[in-house]
Structure 1
Amino acid sequence: MTVYNLARRRILKCVSGLSRFGTKSLPGLEVHNLSLFKRKNATLTPTQKGPWSVLFFGSDEFALDSLRALHNQYRLQKLLCRLEVVTAYKGKENCLTKYAKENGITVHQWPVNVNNLDFHIGVVVSFGHLIPSHIINSFPLGIINVHASLLPRWRGSAPIIYALMNGDTETGISLMKIKPKRFDVGEVIAQEKTTVGPEETQPELYTKLARMGSKLLIKTVEKLPDVLCCGIPQSEESVTYAPKITADISFVKWNEMTAKNVFDLNRALTGLYPLRTNFKEQAVKLSDIRIFSDIPDVISSGDIEAGTVIYNKESDSLLVKCKENTWISIKKIRIPGKPQMPALDFRNGFMGGQKLKSCNFY
């Protein structure tokens, strides 16, 4: 009986708040969104300051931080009165599904049937699917998205990777309104910046931005619905794109990339793909890569072509020439069919020991 009464009080708390005002109290919201909501459930109208019912769309570890933050608020029953999850997976369950099941959160498989759902607002974090108009319009407050860049820079599915690849020294989190048919084009309603360390890697920045995104999401939900009227359109003049990457991006182009370009690419792909290059018609994998500045005079000549590999005894590494007479060092290399080897073993086994002073990557 105690459990029943507690559940009943929670339901009454959510429903009673929903009856406090009509559609005129929601500035900036489209009337047809509200009328659709009324048609679905004529006894409910949106609350002015919450608690909110939230449908969460996500797919990966980045989204999990935001789901946890929302779930913590839901358990307090002040900011949220309902929380359910939409996700997409084939075969093995993803981390969101596992978390939801462990915490008794209802999960809907994408594509979702909105005719059977009644929520105030949708939240999208790292979902990877375009959401059509009829789903967006089913939420009286629309759908907001947590995106890991300072929009309009790096629209697309891989903003963290592209920020690191391009040597960005600043990035951040943007919260925007979702629009149909195109990714990442909605008005920005909140944004927070952070610096990118010169040696920061993809896993490190990923974790930092996931936490930032979850905190900014809660701050934004606390300001509903007023914050939705403060959206700023994105400048089309500053747009850059971060499309989905493939393993092919890990191949180094020695004559097109400086040492810093190579180092930044390695930072961006850490934990995803090792850098690769061609050697004697094989794709070899490179690791433990650094920019090498203390180049001996004997190899500093501009006549050496990009991709030239020289073993350096002092640093116990392979030095490879890049664009603009810059160099990187490589401590470890893996040849197909063989275990990873240190630079000295590669020199002895594949550069003829003392017989050859250099070889070439391409």
Structure 2
Amino acid sequence: MPNSLKVIFAGTPDFATGSLAAVLKSHHQVVAVYTQPDRKAGRGKKISMSPVKELALEHDIPVEQPINFKSEESLAQLASYEADVMVVVAYGLLLPQSVLDTPRLGCINVHGSLLPRWRGAAPIQRSIQAGDTETGVTIMQMEAGLDTGPMLLTASLPITEQDTGSSLHDKLAEQGAQLLVEALDKLSNNQLSPTPQDDSLATYAHKLSKAEAQLDWQLSAQELERTIRAFNSWPVAYSLIDEATVRIWQANVCQSQTKSEPGVILQADSNGILVACGQDGLLLTELQLPGSRAMSAKDLLNAPKNQQLFALGRQFASL
């Protein structure tokens, strides 16, 4: 039977809530939760709590929300919980060495990739965008570098041709929660053997931005299709036509020998809107116009004004 550990949990978004819930269901004790400060969100810009904070309050767990750990007061508060280990899952703050050294067994991180591939902020989306066929979860002993610490446990997961950033996020969140509890059990009995990362194999997953979601039709249809899946459901790939922003949620690659200017519409019917790319064509099957919901190309083209917008020979704007 594993020993019970006193755990401080640090996390912020939905990805972290599954891990927190799994620890709460285990025999380990969550003594405090650290999360990002409440921020304004949504159209009304109302103050919003993080998903992790909401879950912590439901279980009457103390919640701490420091802006950083630069003050002696914040470090003293952390130490006062006398935790055995700090679990970090998408917390959103780089932890200084003083924090990493505070818990008796240090800090461990649940990371959504097979390290050292895709260190950084957006490993899930970058793995799809790059065309990886496999990803997974790494439980890592944290050190001062960004996702550079030794690996404690890993679990792999195939990336299917249907996976989106959203679907893969959910799969890895579930896998990470299960692996975390296993790691805590083994850590409590000194059954983990750290494995150093091979820095020569490291790649970096840069943070996502809305600006990079605009499609470059000079790229191949394969690259664009992966980008569309990777950016579903945020920031959502888009292109411009007649100054209208068209968000693109789903698309399929169509091999084509047609030599047309990238961005030109080659077909617009119930099957989708076929657009010429730098190589092959991309069939857009689910789109969203400004002020409207996402819908199939078939439903979109039912409106005469949309038929004119996506008429044959029309061209999406190039970068």
TM-score band by shorter chain is 0.7 to 0.9
Aligned-partner Cα distance in 2 for 1:350–1:81: 58
- 1:64 Cα deviation after fit: 0.6
Is 1:63 the equivalent of 2:22? no
Structure 2 counterpart of 1:166: 130
Structure 2 counterpart of 1:253: 216
Structure 1 counterpart of 2:41: none
Letter of the 2:5 partner, please give it.
W
Q: Alignment identity in percent?
A: 26
- 1:109 Cα deviation after fit: 1.6
Match of 2:282 among 318, 321, 328: 328
- 1:116 Cα deviation after fit: 2.6
Other structure's SS at 1:222 match: helix
Q: Is contact 2:228-2:250 (8 Å) kept?
A: no
Is 1:342 the equivalent of 2:300? yes
Match of 2:152 among 189, 200, 205: 189
- 1:248 Cα deviation after fit: 1.1
Aligned-partner Cα distance in 1 for 2:293–2:179: 45
Match of 1:141 among 105, 108, 120: 105
Is 1:154 the equivalent of 2:109? no
Aligned-partner Cα distance in 1 for 2:86–2:288: 46
RMSD of the alignment, in Å? Answer: 2.3
Structure 2 counterpart of 1:311: 267
Q: Is contact 1:311-1:343 (8 Å) kept?
A: no
Any residues of structure 2 matched to 1:144-293 within 5 Å, and which? 144-180=108-144, 182-225=145-188, 230-255=193-218, 257-293=219-255
Aligned-partner Cα distance in 2 for 1:245–1:232: 29
Larger radius of gyration: 1
Letter of the 2:87 partner, please give it.
V
Q: Cα gap change, 1:322/1:227 in structure 2, threshold over 3 Å: closer, same or farther?
A: farther
Match of 2:32 among 80, 84, 89: 84
Structure 1 counterpart of 2:82: 118
Is 1:100 the equivalent of 2:69? no
- 1:150 Cα deviation after fit: 0.2
Question: TM-score scaled to structure 1, two decimals?
Answer: 0.75
Q: Is contact 1:165-1:264 (8 Å) kept?
A: yes
Structure 1 counterpart of 2:43: none
Question: TM-score scaled to structure 2, two decimals?
Answer: 0.85
Letter of the 1:349 partner, please give it.
Q
Aligned-partner Cα distance in 1 for 2:139–2:276: 42
Letter of the 1:88 partner, please give it.
Q
Q: Is contact 1:284-1:336 (8 Å) kept?
A: yes
Letter of the 2:234 partner, please give it.
L
- 1:136 Cα deviation after fit: 1.2
Letter of the 1:330 partner, please give it.
L
Higher share of residues assigned helix: 1
Q: Cα gap change, 1:248/1:126 in structure 2, threshold over 3 Å: closer, same or farther?
A: same
Aligned-partner Cα distance in 1 for 2:216–2:195: 39
Aligned-partner Cα distance in 1 for 2:173–2:35: 18
Q: Cα gap change, 1:346/1:332 in structure 2, threshold over 3 Å: closer, same or farther?
A: farther
Q: Which runs of 5+ in 2 are unaligned?
A: 39-46, 69-73
Aligned-partner Cα distance in 2 for 1:209–1:134: 30
Other structure's SS at 1:358 match: coil
Q: How many residues align?
A: 296
Q: Cα gap change, 1:54/1:216 in structure 2, threshold over 3 Å: closer, same or farther?
A: same
Aligned-partner Cα distance in 2 for 1:81–1:100: 13
Structure 1 counterpart of 2:3: 50
Other structure's SS at 1:213 match: helix
Higher share of residues assigned strand: 2
Letter of the 1:301 partner, please give it.
T
Aligned-partner Cα distance in 1 for 2:135–2:190: 22
Letter of the 1:101 partner, please give it.
L
Any residues of structure 2 matched to 1:344-359 within 5 Å, and which? 345=304, 348-350=307-309, 357-359=312-314
- 1:188 Cα deviation after fit: 0.5
- 1:282 Cα deviation after fit: 4.2
Q: Is contact 1:333-1:343 (8 Å) kept?
A: no
Q: Cα gap change, 1:64/1:81 in structure 2, threshold over 3 Å: closer, same or farther?
A: closer
Aligned-partner Cα distance in 1 for 2:153–2:213: 33
Other structure's SS at 2:86 match: strand
Other structure's SS at 2:187 match: coil
Q: Cα gap change, 1:120/1:96 in structure 2, threshold over 3 Å: closer, same or farther?
A: same
Q: Cα gap change, 1:332/1:86 in structure 2, threshold over 3 Å: closer, same or farther?
A: closer
CA deviation digits over 1:22-75, x for unaligned, max 9? xxxxxxxxxxxxxxxxxxxxxxxxxx96221110100011111110111011xx
CA deviation digits over 1:263-290, x for unaligned, max 9? 1111111121332112234433234422
Other structure's SS at 1:129 match: coil
- 1:227 Cα deviation after fit: 5.1
Aligned-partner Cα distance in 2 for 1:103–1:216: 22
Letter of the 1:139 partner, please give it.
P
Other structure's SS at 1:219 match: helix
Structure 1 counterpart of 2:71: none
Q: Is contact 1:146-1:176 (8 Å) kept?
A: yes
Aligned-partner Cα distance in 1 for 2:287–2:305: 7
